[in-house]
Amino acid sequence: MFGKPVSLFTLFGFEIKADVSWLILAALITWSLATGLFPEYYKDLPQSAYWWMGLAGAIGLFLSIIFHELTHSLVARKFGVSMKEITLFIFGGVAHMEKDPPSPRAEFMIAVVGPLSSFFLAGSFFLLYHVGVGSGWPVTMTGVLKYLSWLNMILAVFNLIPAFPLDGGRILRSILWRWKKDMRWSTDIASQIGSGFGLLLIIMGIIYMVRGSFVGGLWWFLIGMFVRAAAQSSYRQILARNLFHNKKVKDLMVTNPVTVPRSISLEDFIRDYVYKYHFQAYPVLSFGRLTGCIFLKQLASIPREEWTHQTVGAVALPCDQNIIIGAEEDADKALEIMNRTGNSRLLVVNGDELEGIIALKDMLALLSLKMEFNDLEK
């Protein structure tokens, strides 16, 4: 949301990341619990106790969201849908699917396990709360357990609302998909409901703010904005995948890309290429053969006084798998790689021969034209 996510740890082969927005939210949650919720319900505790409860509540929320998204990822893996990372951001978390579910059943199972996992956590925390009360556990512990039980119940119920891209919206899409045998139509309907639900939340937020509940209203407003935008972008992603599904990389690539000779100096490279084309990475050629790639971020570690005698070939790095693709690969695979890695340009290679470059901006331009002429079926 606000920049490159920070990698936290890896669990069951999934990389857990946190957007900067989540780190801000965690601090706000800790503060609001320590100064608002817990002092309201549990009187006359030391101030330090409230802060420990607030921190425990924020950590519990963090683990609850990871558990929720992890169940999505594990079930998706079972159905052959690759999910390599889970990112926490200001409105919760998201497990990144590299492709759409292969069937309505897979979509249903991947979606429904999320709310079920939250219901499971809600019940587990509620049971622990009663065990703790009966066993005389400190109120600082039972209070946090009760809060986490209530919180996971709310997460489960909210996610069951049939508004895409919430889990309930994905469940609705799976049902419509099974009925009509048309994923695009099903996504359109579920996304329209999600967009409408987002608009409703926005209106509710404005009403709350007008009535004096500014903070609560602001949250509803922001969540509504997020749901509405996510619903609309999800449908556009389906359109894009449908458009590119039957095309090959060679159909969309540029066959005369900008390349850099390995023999020129870094000074010439910056003057004649970087300042002219503004790319973040360039393929490096020698006698017509691809020998590596040079990235702008490399230049930051090279002293400026060395630019005149240091050559491109001396600092070029091998082109890794995150930046190359074959000409006969499906275009939607290129889109998946771009989405996963954040690279907007991929080198189209055959051995050490550079056949072209496929760029996200060109793919989006084609998509825009197809949508303008209502020609997405071709």
- Would you name the residues annotated as active-site residues? 69
Nearest-angstrom CA–CA distance, 213 and 208: 5
223 token code pair? 């969540």
333 token code pair? 């695979």
Give the H/E segment covering residue 228. helix 214-245
Quote the DSSP letter at residue 317. B
Nearest-angstrom CA–CA distance, 32 and 24: 12
Nearest-angstrom CA–CA distance, 112 and 156: 10
**Collapsing DSSP states into helix, strand and coil, what is residue 295?**
strand
Q: Which amino acid is at 116?
A: L
Backbone angles phi, psi at 288, to 5 degrees: 80, 0
User: What is the CB neighbour count within 10 angstroms for residue 354?
Assistant: 22
Look up tokens 């802060």; give the residue: 51
242 token code pair? 């449908």
**Contact (CB, 8 A) for 270 and 298:** no
300 token code pair? 């930051």
255 token code pair? 């066959």
Q: Chain-centre distance of CA 48, in angstroms? A: 36
Nearest-angstrom CA–CA distance, 167 and 47: 38
Strands of the 6-11 sheet, one edge to the other: 6-11, 14-18, 83-89, 92-97
Instruction: Give counts: helices (H), strands (E), the chain.
Output: 15, 10
CA atoms within 13 A on the CB side of 59: 8
